[in-house]
Structure 1
Amino acid sequence: MAAGKTAVAEALARQLDCSMLDLDQFIAASAGRSIQTIIDEDGEARFRQMEESALRKALVSGTARVIALGGGTWISPRNRALIAEHHGFTVWLDAPYELCWQRIVRTGDTRPLARDYVQAGRLYKERRPLYELAALRVQINEETNAGVVATEIVNALRQHKE
């Protein structure tokens, strides 16, 4: 939730010289509707089905070596298992809630399941324990540079392969 997943994924893909996929953008483009509209019209359960299907396609096809997950993708045990099955290396961009909320407000990019400060805070708190399951945790603050984070991830990937 506004931790910088897309920016870091783009920087990481550049450093690794590989393809990158933003899962939410892919779902929206495939459906011809925004994530907000999908959730409003079809419900969250249907969106989560679409999300799992899109993740499976991305992992099976191998076309994207770096995938920026939506904030709720990792919450699903099935998605975590799918990522593990495909030997995915997962990264948690651990940004403080206040920073995430400031970014949401600054960009005007409302989130389908986090439309106000209280709702977003509740979601943030609920998801944190599951985010801790990621292979790598990177602390994010207002000065964090996506390129620097990408370099940290590349170094962790190298160590992971050894």
Structure 2
Amino acid sequence: MSISLLLWDMVFGKSPLFAAYQGTLNLEYKFLAEPEEWIETWEDEEDEYLARAVYEHLQLNDEQVHKQIWCPIYKQGELQQNHQLIYCSLCKLKLDRDDEVNLDMLRDRLAEAHADHFDRGCRLKPKFCQETRFGLAALYILCQDCSTFEVVI
């Protein structure tokens, strides 16, 4: 601190520089005193941003999204349906169709499965597999990190 500021402090009290920066110092002190609140706020904003980004990604080119459903197992083949099956054009995925099950329902269930996994707080990309249990073939979502293993359809 310079001599002139020391004299100012002794004669008039606080220096004009201190008064000008007092608000800034108070904000910095608040930030240092309550870092958990700032971190939680930042994490909440990040979660909201990521959820919005996922939603926007799913909504980009809505026409194309409704035309194609990529195989959730290998992500290369296109899912197709006939009167009895929903199947992948490249891999061995085959799901028996009931009257209610179609590609639109499968698309919705895949979106729900991804959203449920994300809502549990896990940020890793889940995997999908087909397994036959009790004579029924089903599509499952699984994640080793959060121990998710559920029927998609």
Q: TM-score, normalised by structure 2?
A: 0.22
Structure that is richer in strand per residue: 2
Structure of higher RCO (CA pairs closer than 8 Å, 6+ residues apart): 1
Q: TM-score, normalised by structure 1?
A: 0.21
Q: Flag the structure with larger Rg.
A: 2
Structure that is richer in helix per residue: 1
